[in-house]
Amino acid sequence: MPEEEKISYYLKRFKTLKNNFEKNIRISILSSFTLNGIEEIFQVKCDEKNITCDTCLGGYNQYNQEILDPHSQLYQFQPNITFLILDTRSILEDLWYFPYSIDEKQRQNFVEKKFREIENLITIFLKNSNSKLIISNFFIPTNSNYGIFETKSN
């Protein structure tokens, strides 16, 4: 696998794009964290494949508002593909750092509630857009302050 370029390469190369190919794609990116440089990377990568790429990057942690508002920038842009990239830490809030601050039942209820929230966002998005939706894989923490005890707890 070839080594990936540094972001500075994409930022420089982005300034020289002509974007006059026959094939076009519209990519929207929503996230719960900062993604500076991702638009330039998408556009350069598409240019390398002879595809004109228009991008729309949602504001910092504005994915809920963008999806819920049928008149938002997201829907006005009419993307072909939308990436929903969520940071597990922002979803889990304090439970990311203190998972055992509440009991097992409360944790289970919290996770189910968050799952329903994301599921509802997906349903609303699919109702309001013809775009394909790609949802990021969620980062699963590998380290724990609880060590081996973590594997024996729910």
Cα distances from 23 to residues 44, 48, 76, in angstroms, run: 14, 12, 21
pLDDT digits (tens, 9 = 90+) for 28-69: 999 998 899 999 999 999 999 999 999 999 999 999 999 999
Question: What pLDDT does 71 receive?
Answer: 98
Q: What is the mean pLDDT of the chain?
A: 90
**Minimal CA–CA distance to 66: which of 29, 40, 119?**
29
CATH number of 16-138: 3.40.50.1110
Question: What pLDDT does 143 receive?
Answer: 58
Question: What pLDDT does 116 receive?
Answer: 97
> How far apart, in whole angstroms, are the C-alpha atoms of residue 113 and residue 33?
21
* Domain boundary assignment for the chain: 16-138
Contact of 123 with 117, CB cutoff 8 Å: no
Q: Mean pLDDT across the stretch 109-130?
A: 97
Contact of 31 with 87, CB cutoff 8 Å: yes
Question: What pLDDT does 100 receive?
Answer: 87
Q: Mean pLDDT across the stretch 1-24?
A: 91
pLDDT confidence of 79, banded at 50, 70, 90?
Answer: very high
